[in-house]
Amino acid sequence: MIIEKVSKNDEWEDYYIKSKSSNKHYIITFDILEDTVSCDCEDFRYRKENLKFGGVKLKDRESHCKHIKKILRIRNELI
Ligand SMILES: [Zn+2]
């Protein structure tokens, strides 16, 4: 699995995640100001996303897809 921090500023933080077993890749975005997070995978978009303007609350752990969970586990180790 390849994980990269794509961009970061005071408002947004983007991560790129790609699995080795398939060619699929996803972008996970943290909205720092709103304290929300979103992923562009199917599981998240169709089953988990629950806020009007997209994403879910960062503390709403039950609504995180596996990609978001993965990023949250290693977020502090990525530069
Ligand atoms: Zn996802």
CA of 38 to the centre of ligand 1 (A): 8
Looking at the structure of the chain, the number of domains it has is 1
The mean pLDDT value for 47-68 works out to 96
CA of 64 to the centre of ligand 1 (A): 8
- Domain extent for 66: 2-77
Residue 45: φ, ψ to 5° = -65, -40
pLDDT confidence tier of residue 75, bands split at 50, 70 and 90: confident
For residue 17, is pLDDT > 80?
yes
Question: Cβ atoms within 10 A of the Cβ of 65, count?
Answer: 22
The mean pLDDT value for 3-30 works out to 92
CA of 16 to the centre of ligand 1 (A): 11
